[in-house]
Structure 1
């Protein structure tokens, strides 16, 4: 709920920007709750600043939202194993029979999940540069001022992020190479092969686990390989089958009594796994339309 007053011209000007600012913050953070908090903090800063000294209110607010979001992203990386209220987006699970998924209804949703998980895998500065420039047309010199970098350095950050994102936008979502990378990951995890896991994990890989208590995030190949990846594969090794999760290569596992244990989706870019999205929340799993065990 807004604390602004419609009778106040500054508040009215802010309200006219609220939806756009919320969209910027959500793309930056991937969390509706965090986005709302960031926008409200921007309002508080505007209230203290006073609009009279601001020549371009929209630009000033975008800069403030960008800086606050950047602080949140950096804090997450410093304390990655935190739990968030936001769940992963809706997941559509279909059998992976090895065919091209162009005609599958899940393909329409696949880019959305792939974009989300790839954005989450970017470094904070890369994500800010890409989101603000490519999605909201903020000039590089303005983004550079937020980051404390030159416009040219900011362009390079955005370009690096763009290459990762573009790899998720190709219509052939799952190819042989992606399947082989995922199979290598599962095999290495089953064997407890730490070096084998590191070979297929991007150094900045992000593991997101949807649990009954919220979403837990683990960052970095070493941490994922040391513990989380092994736990992921433990369930997959018992009774499971390859699937497509919103068009991404994935795996579903079941307990011996037939109840689902986990759903896993992998995002593979340039031969490395950059993100793993996992659902182990029994209530969420029960609500999903899963295929029968293979």
Structure 2
């Protein structure tokens, strides 16, 4: 990392922006390590630039961080099964005893994991437009410049992303509708019904699997469906039950000896699964407070 001298006015100005820039990059990328790398790259670009020509340093840095983050997101799409160092956020798993009204409220009120996984399911341009505008109040004109599009096009991207995010909080669909979609997914996986899986998976579904070696990401309904048949349909799990994972419909499975095999959380938007967060790391599973098998 490049050193920033405390006596350097440009360095001081950058340091004043560092926390905000890190927050922007983390919301864009979902990875603390990647966010740090992006912020450091922004500093390197600033150090090579004539600061006297920058009239709005905060805006200039936000634009740079946005462009670098967009490049990272697009590169991930070309290597979707790469493993990332960051672990998923801590998950709270509770028993799901059926579609009671209070469960619908719990699902609607829990937005932490829901927001994270929905952001992960957005296209890079949608994610950038939504994060920069709705979370950090960047004008659409500036967002359009980052994307190489018009302000109106950027506004449409943010609106599309906003609809996906808001759909995770509809109480009517939260409990009953989502459970039905998840149950259909699990049944299709157990029976090796590939077409049945494709019917409930969004074409751009994102699967994140927390393994002992890091988080592995798989993109696309075809690959996710094939993997689901291999994992859920293989018969490795002796027992399983429906749960709520941070308020999202989920599923826990156990081996014959009673040790947990996996925890899965599903994000459902408009009757399609757009994201699946799965934990199979034995050490992490052992540290989680899981309900007893049914």
Same fold (TM over 0.5): yes
CA-to-aligned-CA distance 1:93-123 (integer Å, 9 cap, x gap): 1110112345988976x31100000000000
**Partner residue of 1:134?**
134
Q: Give the C-alpha shift of residue 230 in structure 1.
A: 3.6
Q: Give the C-alpha shift of residue 53 in structure 1.
A: 1.0
Q: Give the C-alpha shift of residue 232 in structure 1.
A: 4.1
**Partner residue of 2:187?**
187
Q: Give the C-alpha shift of residue 167 in structure 1.
A: 1.3
1:85 aligned onto 2:79:
no
Alignment gaps of 5+ in structure 1: none
Q: Does the 8 Å contact 1:28/1:127 carry over to 2?
A: yes
**Partner residue of 1:42?**
42
Q: Give the C-alpha shift of residue 236 in structure 1.
A: 7.7
Q: Does the 8 Å contact 1:202/1:221 carry over to 2?
A: yes
**Partner residue of 1:100?**
101
Q: Does the 8 Å contact 1:26/1:34 carry over to 2?
A: yes
Equivalent-residue separation in structure 1 for 2:120 and 2:10 (angstroms): 34
CA-to-aligned-CA distance 1:177-227 (integer Å, 9 cap, x gap): 100100100111111111111100001100000000000000011111122
**Partner residue of 1:118?**
118
Q: Does the 8 Å contact 1:101/1:174 carry over to 2?
A: no
Equivalent-residue separation in structure 2 for 1:246 and 1:104 (angstroms): 12
Alignment gaps of 5+ in structure 2: none
Instruction: Assess, with a 3 A threshold, how the Cα gap between structure 1 residues 178 and 107 changes in structure 2: closer, same or farther.
Output: closer
Q: Give the C-alpha shift of residue 171 in structure 1.
A: 5.3
1:75 aligned onto 2:75:
yes
Per the normalisation by structure 2, the TM-score is 0.95
Q: Does the 8 Å contact 1:118/1:267 carry over to 2?
A: yes
Per the normalisation by structure 1, the TM-score is 0.95
Q: Does the 8 Å contact 1:92/1:245 carry over to 2?
A: yes
- Cα-Cα RMSD: 1.9
Equivalent-residue separation in structure 1 for 2:30 and 2:132 (angstroms): 14
Could you say what secondary structure the match of 1:249 adopts?
Answer: strand
